[in-house]
Amino acid sequence: MMSHRSKILLMTGVALLCSLSAAKADVLVEIQGAVQRPGTYFVSDHATITEVIRTAGGLSSQADKRRIAGEQRISPNSSSSKIIVTIPFVNGSTRPIIASARSSFTPGNSRSGNSSSTIPNADIRGEWPIGGIEGWDVKKLPIAVWVEPLNDQELISRYAPALEAALGKWNQLWQELSMPKALLRIVNEPDKADIVIRWRRLKKEIVGANTLGHAVPLGEEITFQIPGEQQQYLWKRYKKAYIELDLYTNDSKFYGTTAMYWIITHEVGHALGLKHTNDPSDLMYPSIGVPINEDREREAQTILEKSKNFSSSLSALRFIYNTITVVSAKQPATP
């Protein structure tokens, strides 16, 4: 059994930033593609695409202006904490092209993605890199996890079993992929950790009223090619990931053990490179969809055991790390 000393912290250098002007805005929008500063911004409710582009520093020189409906307005979805706007490139790609001269990147948390990528210089030849895979270098496995200790014995008794079960589940799933090394291992010192985890009372006015946790992976961008293809792809190679979990429900109650187990498992999925899915039965669906407080633990357990599964996430993980295994063999290992 994992001791409570093994539980985890989010480093002081990682924080959610929100200016006073941003706090007054209505909608969180992730702006991707052919703009000067791709990233996540607050914009006015039902802003036009032209206003959205202006927020991201204007169009890049490679934007396909013919395919941009400047007067079209964004339409926020009440069930989501943000929306995504992709500005097309001249090559007609339906996916945002992400290319950068910088070695570092900072994807935002699992609810509010962010990109620090920049458009490449004009002298870059051949195909520009497009978004490919995100995840850890398999040479680095197993990934070291440190959990910030909880000080309250009642919190330990409720949340520690959920954490242990969640990490154990990921190690079990990893074995099903027949990978050569173990996936996760617990360490007792934060400076030796690749993934750090902590519980905090999340500021819902910043992260969203329905946010139960978030994950922030950090790393570097590496371009690679598939043999026989000219197209370059990006591997966003993780070097560190931070997971923060909500300490209490909105009505100040404890989370049920079952709900906390699924929350942790979901956020670790993000820290491994998995994205949200549209399948309500999948682990990586952005809503847990069951009662979350301790008073309805049995009900949540019954619903989740019947409705949730790992099949889609496992298939995605298999694809990601089979690809990384091939790419990693030709790349220097992460320090």
Decide if 273 contacts 320 (C-beta within 8 A). Answer: yes
Pick the CATH number of 4-12+139-219+239-323 from 1.10.10, 3.30.450, 1.10.287, 3.40.390: 3.40.390
Q: How far apart are CA 188 and CA 169, in angstroms?
A: 20
Q: What number of helices (H) and strands (E) belong to the chain?
A: 7, 10
Kindly report the pTM of this predicted structure: 0.63
Q: State residue 222's pLDDT score.
A: 82
* Gap between the Cα atoms of 274 and 268, Å rounded: 9
Digitized pLDDT (tens) for each residue of the chain, 335 residues in all? 444 333 332 222 222 222 222 333 467 777 877 888 777 777 787 888 898 888 888 888 778 888 888 888 887 654 445 678 888 877 544 333 322 223 333 333 344 332 333 333 333 334 455 667 899 999 989 999 999 998 888 889 889 999 999 999 999 999 988 887 889 999 999 999 999 999 988 887 777 778 889 898 998 888 777 666 667 778 889 999 999 999 988 888 888 888 899 899 999 999 999 998 888 888 888 888 777 877 787 877 777 777 788 888 898 899 899 888 888 887 766 66
Q: Reduce the DSSP state of residue 190 to 3 states and report it.
A: helix
Strands, E, within the chain: which ranges?
27-33, 39-43, 83-87, 104-105, 130-136, 143-147, 184-186, 195-200, 213-225, 232-246
How far apart (Å, rounded) are the C-alpha atoms in residues 131 and 95? 8
Percent helix, percent strand, percent coil in the chain, to nearest 5:
30, 25, 45
Q: Which two tokens stand for residue 135?
A: 């995840």
Residues 6+ apart with CB under 8 A from 187: 6, 144, 145, 146, 193
pLDDT at residue 97 in the model: 31
Q: Distance (Å, rounded) from C-alpha 23 to C-alpha 12?
A: 22
pLDDT at 133: 85
Query: pLDDT at position 271, please?
Result: 96
Task: Please identify which residue in the block is written with the tokens 């570092």.
Answer: 104
One-letter identity of residue 245: L
Query: Do residues 277 and 312 lie in contact, with contact meaning Cβ atoms separated by under 8 Å?
Result: yes
